[in-house]
Amino acid sequence: MAVSVFSLNPAGVPVVQTVLSILSIALVLSVFRALWAAVYNLVAHPLHTVPGPKLWAVSDLPYALCNCSGNSHRRILALHKKYGPVVRVGPNDVVLNHPDAWKELMGHRKSAQGEHAKEPYIMFEAQHSVIGANREDHARIRRAISHGFSAQAMLDQQPIIRKYVDLLIQRLRDHATRRSDEAVEMTTWFNWATFDIIGDLSFGEPFGCLEKTEWHPWVHIIFESFVNLVYLASLKRFPKLFAALMWAAGPTISDTRSKHRKFGHDRITERLALTTERHDFIESLVQRQGEKGLSREEIDETAATLVTAGGETTATALSGAIYYLTTHPEVMQKLDQELHANFESEDDMDLISVQKLTYMLAVLNETLRKFSPLGTGIGRQISEGGDVILGHFFPEKTVVTIHHWSMYHNDAYFADPYSFHPERWLDDARFASDVKEAFQPFSYGARNCIGRNLAYGEMRLILARIVWNFDLRLDAAHKNWVEDNKCYFLWQKGPLNVYLTPKRTKTGSDRSDGGKASPADDCKTAARYRDDVEEAVLLRPNGSPPTPQQQQQQHQQQQQQPADRHGRAPKQPFKTAAQLAEAEKRRQDLKRRVLDGMQGFSMERYRKSDAELRAVRDGRVRAFYEAQNARLDDWLEVDGLVYALADDVIDSLNPDADRDGVAERAGPLQNARGAVLDFLPEAARERRATAARRARWAIKVNVVANVVMLAGKLVSLRFSPSLSLVASTVDSGLDLFCTLIIYGTNRLVDWRLQSLRAKYPVGRRRLEPLGILVFSVIMIVSFLQILLESAQKLLPGGGREVADLPAVAIGAMAANAVVKGLIGLACLPVRTTQVQALVQDCKTDVYFNTASLLFPLIGVAADVWWLDPLGASLLALYVMYDWAETCVLHVSRLTGMSGDEELQQKLMYLAYRFSPVVDGYKRLTAYHAGDGVWVELDVLLDEKTSLVQAHDIVETLQYCYEGMDEVDRAFVTADYSSLAPLGHVQESW
């Protein structure tokens, strides 16, 4: 008899089945090993009592993925909001968010106490630099370079710095003069300037970026290394994967690293060969070279570190300052006034004189708070013996990190943290509750940034010179520049295009009267400045260039009215100017009444932290405080929404104040063409974008997982006729089909075509619950068939054989349960209806596959034939009941079910925010039209309220409602009598 080539022995056991069995056993063992590690990390690890997401405590993977996402700064803040100032984000990683953490983690430690060294993931190759050196070497290196950052050294270095600032202004002025209609990409120019400055101070020669107006190859390598550094640091948490990468890509990485080091070494060699005296950093280092001084390797690495740290971070802060100035014209105006009040000429500006600019310092500090160059943080590894920080004991080798961005955007420490307010640094009463100790942009302790004074001096001088020389206007395409940037340790900045218009200013050396400006010149300059500000603030408040329609209108007006002797269009008639002034006064009054006194962050004192909640023994009391925390979250969200959106809505109202048919101004909403999302609070906008992005990924991952699981079960059916396995396979097939339905509806909702806009004027969001409804019906009908088949087998004549599960089937179903469980946990935080339906499906699959394993296995062990069909029947009943509930829910929502009580309270609180401008409310109705709700609100106004005022109030309130994520449509009507009829002409009931 012929023997098959797929046999291992005379018994004819197939090779494929044997291999699959071995792989299944290996998979099961790996799963048990992972589960054992997860259980240990959750219940027995020394950090198991530290609050944080359980999934993150199990593995390093979530935190590593978070760091590689470019969005870690926002994710970490969200974790602190949920879990408190101390959060466990990995098996051995903790993040802190409390002002005292700076001192307790990075403050002075006695000589007998070990220093908390920099984390090994980032600093694994910086042992010889001032950043990564150990305690003793760091003190020695810092002493050596400290002389290069002293006050006297800054005075000596001033000519070097001034030379490149002059060149920067010259290059920008040349560009603005020759190509006035083109915007300037400011981040590149700032990087060129700061790298030229720090290159000259560190290596004795610049990189030539400003001179050649191009990137130097070495600087380009530095920028590429920032993102790669984060990826490598994340991968280093997994030693085997890191070793595999270094084996595969080691030569390429080593070659890049060698080029980087060789360039720095060659520059230092050339600098050391100079015989002339230079006031730079190398002079300070070389004087201390030798015994107990610095080695050549330490000089090379320290110089390279100074270039990297001193060039990129200063340029980032300057880019952020320009962005916030161009998006806040009132701040720009105050800064310009401060400059003209302190300087008669640009020549008077130097590193010393700009130190008296208090408002300038406030602008820079607020920029460093809002857009800190180091968005995340460099962790510290707890030294031998462990340490107690913020009341928690951390064992040795725990990596503890303080994230700058999340600290500075925590409303527990900074009032209104997402808004740009330089006044918070000038003792403004609105920000008296700010905890300034939380603000440490240059780090803290013995390892804080040694170049702090130089950085402040550079930023003040460059920013002062730019504001003095140019009128700045942001390209409208970059109005969300800060929010669009990704954070990989440092920021990966996108282009920042700004239109530069040279001001008609003179330096002291240009004037024939010895540098003194005449009173007449001052008056002309002031008048010209006032006209420019009026044009920027009134005509284009958002800093965007005029639209073609506006340009055409302005051209027609200029053609109709004769120009003055200077070639400028005459001023508007007095009547028009008065109407514009009255409209502006009305807008500002409405803003003041709606927005002033909105100190929602003060409600935080009523919040109970997680630790306080755990201390409450009475379950009912704890439930009350948890509900109170949820209401606080809702109300603070509403406050932020009103504060951000109402301001832009009011600015967009009444563009034609003189009613001549020509819009004298264009507000933010007109320029954005109704895209309200762009004007929501930064946190809300990011939350919605993140939720949409996660929803798309969750759906795609589910599609792939269902394909793989279905294939595995189809192979398993080849070896077993188990009804439970058949039911599980049918479930996987239906999962794939229904997930494709959800994927299709998700794509259809996002599909934007002009032809569909007219056909579906309010959008197609109801496709999402409709898709889930179809999903539910298919699941119910399909499992009804499984129920009938199982019941038929239980009846007499249905068969009495006991179904057996081979190892391959056990492996496939166990893998299905594990994979679906992990996917469900990963998707659980995504609170969209479609993804939650997938979470429900994953939960069903975990229960279903687990039971599909247990029933046949127990039936074989006990030799009970009816256990398998009984298990399939019970599973089918469970799935039908679970999806029937989902079906009923979405049918109710599609047919107009009322919004829940929590949503009603949130909607009423938003109406309450407008109580200073209305007399009362007659009725608030919220009902579902799918997942979102439609809102109807009747407001009471004084009968003497003008039509314009009534319109502005109602329109602003309606826009704010439609800015809420839960609301699809809002209808706000005004009435002057509380006794007038309610609702519509014909009520539904």
Helix (H, G, I), strand (E, B), or coil: what is residue 671?
A: helix
Per residue, what are the HEC states of 678-721?
Answer: HHCCHHHHHHHHHHHHHHHHHHHHHHHHHHHHHHHHHHHHCCCC
**Cβ contact 668:541 at 8 Å:** yes
**Cβ contact 848:749 at 8 Å:** no
- β-pairing verdict for 392-394 and 387-389: antiparallel
Name residue 863's beta-bridge partners: none
Handedness of CA 730, 733, 736, 737 (dihedral sign): negative
Could you tell me the two tokens for 242? 């890191």
Per residue, what are the HEC states of 559-572?
Answer: HHCCCCCCCCCCCC
Could you tell me the two tokens for 931? 């997942």
Q: Give, in order, the Cα–Cα distances in Å from 681 to each of 329, 603, 648, 672, 824.
A: 19, 18, 11, 16, 30
| CB half-sphere exposure, 754, CA atoms < 13 A | 0
Could you tell me the two tokens for 335? 């800064």
Run of H or E residues at 495:
none
- Residue 981: CB atoms within 10 A of its CB come to 9
Helix (H, G, I), strand (E, B), or coil: what is residue 864?
A: coil
Burial 86-108 (b: 16+ CB within 10 A, else e): bbbbbbbbbbbbbbbbbeebbee
**Cβ contact 408:414 at 8 Å:** yes
- Terminus-to-terminus CA distance in the chain, angstroms? 83
**Nearest partner of 46 among 382, 528, 354, 334, judged by Cα:** 382
| DSSP-assigned letters across all residues of 137-196 | HHHHHHHHHHGGGSHHHHHHHHHHHHHHHHHHHHHHHHHHHH-TTS-EEHHHHHHHHHHH
| Torsion angle in degrees (nearest 10) through CA of 132, 135, 137, 139 | 110
Residues 415, 430: Cα–Cα separation, whole Å: 8
Residues 963, 680: Cα–Cα separation, whole Å: 7
Give Cα 460 distance to the centre of its chain: 28
Residue ranges in 795-865 assigned as alpha helix (H): 807-827, 833-862
Name residue 924's beta-bridge partners: 937
**Nearest partner of 915 among 971, 959, 957, judged by Cα:** 957
| CB half-sphere exposure, 464, CA atoms < 13 A | 31
Could you tell me the two tokens for 621? 């009391």
Helix (H, G, I), strand (E, B), or coil: what is residue 615?
A: helix
Burial 791-824 (b: 16+ CB within 10 A, else e): eebeeeeeeeebbebbbbbbbbbbbbbbbbbebb
Residue 738 in marked binding region: no
Per residue, what are the HEC states of 448-485?
Answer: CCCCHHHHHHHHHHHHHHHHHHEEEEECHHHCCHHHHC
**Nearest partner of 424 among 415, 592, 357, judged by Cα:** 415
Contacts of 819 (CB under 8 A, 6+ apart): 705, 708, 709
Handedness of CA 965, 970, 976, 980 (dihedral sign): negative
Count of residues making up the chain: 989
State the DSSP code for 87.
Answer: E
Name the binding residues for heme: 449
Name the binding residues: 449
